[in-house]
Structure 1
């Protein structure tokens, strides 16, 4: 660490402290300090009364959440707004009545207070409280360094704390700038990506799968662009990361195969449009509808309210039933049997009419009922009907159709058989023990 840079920074701090002590020994320093304290206490007392009235009027704002957040941020800082206004009036009066050197402390406090007010209000845009406070303090510290004329000397000192890595000179100043620039760039890129994704999702000219694909590409592209711009802005040569990116690529290939496979599978699913949000699918024992397509998994919601996060790779490598891929209509079969004394023609007609009475059965596609075989104790039939809403469940509609068949058969005297067996007992009778009927 160069001793000259440390000496310059220490000298600047000592000069600032000496000036402060020199001014503090004068009577006008005490006067200014008393004025600042009186104005601060006055602003605190007045702000309590003003905040209540402004808060009541702010609650009347409806339909503008962004404007309401800005108004709320200003109301919460009413004491600082009043304090800054009072300091500005006091400074103007003192400079008009006396020498400017007798109001330097008020000028410094006014600048620092104004910087804190602007930083605190702008930080309210960030919803996370910890992040908002961190941003506010960082912005205020940077502004305070500029106001106190310490920014250049501190920058020189941080730049002297460097570690050479080949052709790269990695200093503390570069690290701090990089972290701040990357944080700001990523935050702005996420906001921009979400905005673009929302606009794409509202488009009616694109299919659901294409909207998801375009939204994901926009988010990834904006983040990559923001990182590249941020690193270039702080003077980092992107070609220096060639070896590092190659090592990361090898690590992804060996250690993150499943992650890369799921990401690639997700892109393929979106491109071939085989699955889209809202489709009803069956994968193994899972039956439900697609709620959301993600980069790594697909969210499937079942009838019992469970949400399965199924990896994208499973939709590529396994057999998937998409009930609504090309047509919303889905055909269901219900098998039943009646006794042999029933008229099969009448049974078919009654079964069709019973199915038509169920609300979810599609009326435009008339159900059909066929005799499929002569069983051991029944005439076997299959009833086939169509529905348009498989996401509402399959078992429930089959159950309603079976109940309708039961009611119709009971009204018309048609019986549903149950298995029975006849046992014929034979006893030996006659010479030789031969059995006779």
Structure 2
């Protein structure tokens, strides 16, 4: 590279760009010190301010390019055409700035500002997730519409595209459209919500996320199941957290014939009382109840009904009740039977024994 070529470089523009980058860096440092001085304790407002400053700093270069090179030919050169509008790099940068700002604004609202509102009004986890999704979708849709209008695209010109898209949805994308609409119904009607304990095809899990197409359910084994949203509207799903979180546990127990049925009843009610003292989730109302179910093949069959307030504690509570029942029955000398079979061996006929002797 010759000296003349180097001298032909637009050094003034390069120095201005470098100076502006240094200016942005100093602005970020100064803003950080000022925010740390104002908000001595780290909180949501401080994090929101840092997030907004970071967006301004990292996108400041694009803003500088737009204003400083606004008359440059390369910035206004038409790259392609939509309808009667020539799309230039200038318009693309404007659209990117609008959309990225909307995304950052949505993130700030959902992560730093809305939690104050949720905590103040004591909203449950499901309502919080619904509001976060609605705020995000509204902001992003508005941002896309504003960006299209800003670059000069007439939205009425998109009606033909919308018609073609509608035909495509009707044929090849009907499942995606169905799951998307089902996701909106789940967010607003809320037959299930984030945090619910559900039972799907004998699999127990907690709803972790409801996205545009599918719902994520985490099982008790910490496996994640991705379920299309339409499934929850078309199939039978047991929601143990819906409306009333209380749940009745049924503990079956069999005792040997000859046992005192009234004594067994008192022992089981005593187990329920002990469980209430150890676990606050065991409820007094409805009261524990002992059901004499019937007469089995080898046992008198009982059921202990206990109500709990948290459906997520079903497995643990059943285990504790079974431990306690076994211990109390052993202490009171009440036998828990197990199936037994008597095998009767008949002697072989004498003719058969004679044949065996002759063969030997």
- Corresponding position: 1:296 with 2:220: no
Normalised to the residue count of structure 2, the TM-score between the two structures is: 0.73
CA distance in 1, matches of 2:132, 2:170: 26
CA distance in 2, matches of 1:292, 1:19: 52
Please state how far the C-alpha of 1:17 moved relative to its aligned partner: 6.3
- Corresponding position: 1:387 with 2:300: no
Question: In structure 2, do the counterparts of structure 1 residues 65 and 141 end up closer, same or farther at CA, with 3 Å as the change threshold?
Answer: same
Instruction: Identify the residue that residue 54 of structure 2 maps to in structure 1.
Output: 125
Where in structure 2 are the equivalents of 1:8-87 lying within 5 Å?
61-63=40-42
CA distance in 1, matches of 2:293, 2:318: 19
Query: In terms of mean alpha carbon deviation, does 417-426 or 276-285 score higher?
Result: 417-426
Q: Deviations over 1:87-140 (max 9, x none)?
A: xxxxxxxxxxxxxxxxxxxxxxxxxxxxxxxxxxx996139xxxx66x354344
- Corresponding position: 1:402 with 2:332: no
Question: In structure 2, do the counterparts of structure 1 residues 400 and 302 end up closer, same or farther at CA, with 3 Å as the change threshold?
Answer: same
CA distance in 1, matches of 2:247, 2:293: 21
SS in 1 for 2:164: helix
Please state how far the C-alpha of 1:426 moved relative to its aligned partner: 6.0
SS in 1 for 2:230: helix
Contact 1:298-1:310 at 8 Å conserved across structures: yes
Contact 1:290-1:301 at 8 Å conserved across structures: yes
Please state how far the C-alpha of 1:351 moved relative to its aligned partner: 1.3
Instruction: Identify the residue that residue 255 of structure 1 maps to in structure 2.
Output: 172
Q: Pick from 287, 308, 329 the counterpart of residue 204 of structure 2.
A: 287
Instruction: Identify the residue that residue 335 of structure 2 maps to in structure 1.
Output: 415
Where in structure 2 are the equivalents of 1:184-333 lying within 5 Å?
184-197=97-110, 198-199=113-114, 201-202=118-119, 204=121, 209=126, 211-333=128-250
CA distance in 1, matches of 2:158, 2:76: 21
Please state how far the C-alpha of 1:353 moved relative to its aligned partner: 0.9
Question: In structure 2, do the counterparts of structure 1 residues 70 and 320 end up closer, same or farther at CA, with 3 Å as the change threshold?
Answer: closer
Please state how far the C-alpha of 1:415 moved relative to its aligned partner: 0.7
Q: Pick from 258, 261, 280 the counterpart of residue 344 of structure 1.
A: 261
Please state how far the C-alpha of 1:266 moved relative to its aligned partner: 1.5
Instruction: Identify the residue that residue 352 of structure 2 maps to in structure 1.
Output: none
CA distance in 2, matches of 1:289, 1:67: 33
Ranked by relative contact order (alpha carbons within 8 Å, sequence separation 6 or more), the top structure is 2
SS in 2 for 1:385: strand
Contact 2:179-2:230 at 8 Å conserved across structures: yes
CA distance in 1, matches of 2:233, 2:288: 34
CA distance in 1, matches of 2:167, 2:95: 25
Please state how far the C-alpha of 1:184 moved relative to its aligned partner: 1.1
Contact 1:61-1:68 at 8 Å conserved across structures: no
Matched positions, count:
320
Contact 1:298-1:309 at 8 Å conserved across structures: yes
CA distance in 2, matches of 1:295, 1:399: 38
User: Highest Rg: 1 or 2?
Assistant: 1
Q: Deviations over 1:292-339 (max 9, x none)?
A: 332222232332333333221111111111112121210111112111
Question: In structure 2, do the counterparts of structure 1 residues 241 and 402 end up closer, same or farther at CA, with 3 Å as the change threshold?
Answer: same
Which structure features the higher share of helix residues? 1
SS in 2 for 1:350: helix
Normalised to the residue count of structure 1, the TM-score between the two structures is: 0.62
Please state how far the C-alpha of 1:281 moved relative to its aligned partner: 1.0
CA distance in 1, matches of 2:345, 2:124: 72
- Corresponding position: 1:168 with 2:84: yes
Question: In structure 2, do the counterparts of structure 1 residues 162 and 416 end up closer, same or farther at CA, with 3 Å as the change threshold?
Answer: closer
SS in 2 for 1:289: strand
State the superposition RMSD in angstroms. 4.0
5+ residue gaps, structure 2, are 1-6, 350-360
CA distance in 2, matches of 1:125, 1:310: 37
Contact 2:251-2:305 at 8 Å conserved across structures: yes
SS in 2 for 1:125: helix
CA distance in 1, matches of 2:225, 2:289: 36
Question: In structure 2, do the counterparts of structure 1 residues 281 and 161 end up closer, same or farther at CA, with 3 Å as the change threshold?
Answer: closer
CA distance in 1, matches of 2:299, 2:48: 73
Instruction: Identify the residue that residue 97 of structure 1 maps to in structure 2.
Output: none
